Amino acid sequence: MKINFAFLFWLLPVWGFAQQVKITHGPYLQALGENEVTIVWTTDNPAVSWVELAPAGDDSFYAQERPQYCQTRHGNRVVGQLHQVTIQGLERGTEYRYRIFSQAVFDQSGTLSCGRVASSNVYSKKPLRFTTSDSQKTDLSFVALNDIHGRQDDLRALCGNVKYGKTDLVIFNGDMVDRMDGEQQFFDAFMDEAVKLFAGEVPVFYARGNHETRGTFHPYFADYFPSRNGQLYYSFRHGPVHFIVLDSGEDKPDSDVEYFGLARFDAYRSQQQEWLKKEIESESFRSASYRMVIVHIPPTGSDWHGAAEVKNKFLPLLRHAGITVMFCGHTHKYQYIAPDDQLHDFPILINAPNTALEVSATPNALSVKRKDTAGKELNVFTYKH
Ligand SMILES: [Fe+2]
């Protein structure tokens, strides 16, 4: 008797052999605002993804049906391995619980079919949470670090105090990697560790460093760290602080042999200069109690081209704009540059690769504690409102 095995193919899903999918990295929060957030993760196979959202509470995540938010483009759900789900229409300063889902999508004889579903755990673990930002909040607590260059031990030590409910956000001020060589490489270097520590519940705001502009994977950096304006220079307000995040680009002239003719950072920094002119006129900037600038390459202390560009294009606009303090990295050497009325009427704090800046803003003052990997306090700066 002849047996036709083709029918077995159709039974595979029933028997549990349908196309599998696994969550490989994330989820982590990006572009948090008063009314929105973007949740990012990756999968090992192409999938469509969605997020289910529940209000804060101790009730079961499935006490009732939860609204679903999908990633769509031109009306279609996005099939891929990098998933970015933006949720809009949220309430300001409000806690939510969330669960992520990815369903495998595969080509079955020329037709797209769906397979298994992977999701974050809401049963044996508490669901992940986030709280939207709030310009009316009186206090803010955040941590800034830079130049980690893939040193996970330092990342772990410096973020020891980062906790949901206590830390509102974390700033990565550039050079978290040596190069952007691939997805697995940069997750291995620092981002998987950040997810393990806090990034699923405490949002990361990233100021790109010059090392993130290097490597074959660098064009995809912004896909993994999306901002609300779609640029790598942007601003956001949380509590009493208005943040301006600038992208200082590369440190050498665009014509340097190291860039193989591919760099156009002078024009890019001029574009940011035009944006910055409008930014410092914004209501959010003007009404904030504290105004901070986050930029990887410091404008002073070096005569390299990138530093000169930051100095010549950004400082004249920031001088007399009421900046509280500027945070930089890049030089791998701690330095506190006091205000100088000719160039910058605000202090510049260059953070070292093995220290973190723990910032606390209250109605009266913004205080910055620089701590080392053992948690030892090295410097404290206080800026009165
Ligand atoms: Fe750098």
- List the structure tokens of 130: 């986030």
> What spacing in Å lies between the alpha carbon of 208 and ligand 1's midpoint?
9
Please give the C-alpha separations between residue 371 and each of 100, 108, 165, 172, 356, in angstroms, as whole numbers: 35, 55, 20, 16, 5
> What spacing in Å lies between the alpha carbon of 210 and ligand 1's midpoint?
5
> What spacing in Å lies between the alpha carbon of 212 and ligand 1's midpoint?
9
> What spacing in Å lies between the alpha carbon of 356 and ligand 1's midpoint?
16
What is the C-alpha separation between 273 and 345, in angstroms, rounded? 18
| Long-range Cβ pairs for the range 187-190 (8 Å, 24+) | 187/25, 187/42, 188/150, 189/150, 189/152, 190/148, 190/150, 190/152, 190/155
> What spacing in Å lies between the alpha carbon of 147 and ligand 1's midpoint?
7
> What spacing in Å lies between the alpha carbon of 211 and ligand 1's midpoint?
6
* Confidence (pTM): 0.94
User: Is beta strand 335-337 parallel, antiparallel or unpaired with respect to 290-294?
Assistant: unpaired
Nearest 5 degrees, angle CA 290-CA 295-CA 298? 110
pLDDT (tens, 9 = 90+) of the chain, 385 residues, equals: 455 544 444 444 444 457 899 999 999 999 999 999 999 999 999 999 999 999 999 999 999 999 999 999 999 999 999 999 999 999 999 999 999 999 999 887 788 889 999 999 999 899 999 999 999 999 999 999 999 999 999 999 999 899 999 999 999 999 999 999 999 999 999 999 999 999 999 999 999 999 999 999 999 999 999 999 999 999 999 999 999 999 999 999 999 998 888 999 999 999 999 999 999 999 999 999 999 999 999 999 888 999 999 999 999 999 999 999 999 999 999 999 999 989 999 999 999 999 999 999 999 999 999 999 999 999 999 999 8
> What spacing in Å lies between the alpha carbon of 177 and ligand 1's midpoint?
10
Count CB-CB contacts under 10 A for residue 367: 15
3-state percent breakdown (helix, strand, coil) of the chain, nearest 5? 20, 35, 45
What is the C-alpha separation between 196 and 169, in angstroms, rounded? 15
> What spacing in Å lies between the alpha carbon of 312 and ligand 1's midpoint?
19
Domains and CATH numbers, the chain: 14-131 (2.60.40.10), 140-384 (3.60.21.10)
What is the C-alpha separation between 116 and 194, in angstroms, rounded? 28
Residue 137 φ/ψ, nearest 5 degrees: -65, 135
> Is residue 175 within 8 Å of 207, Cβ to Cβ?
no
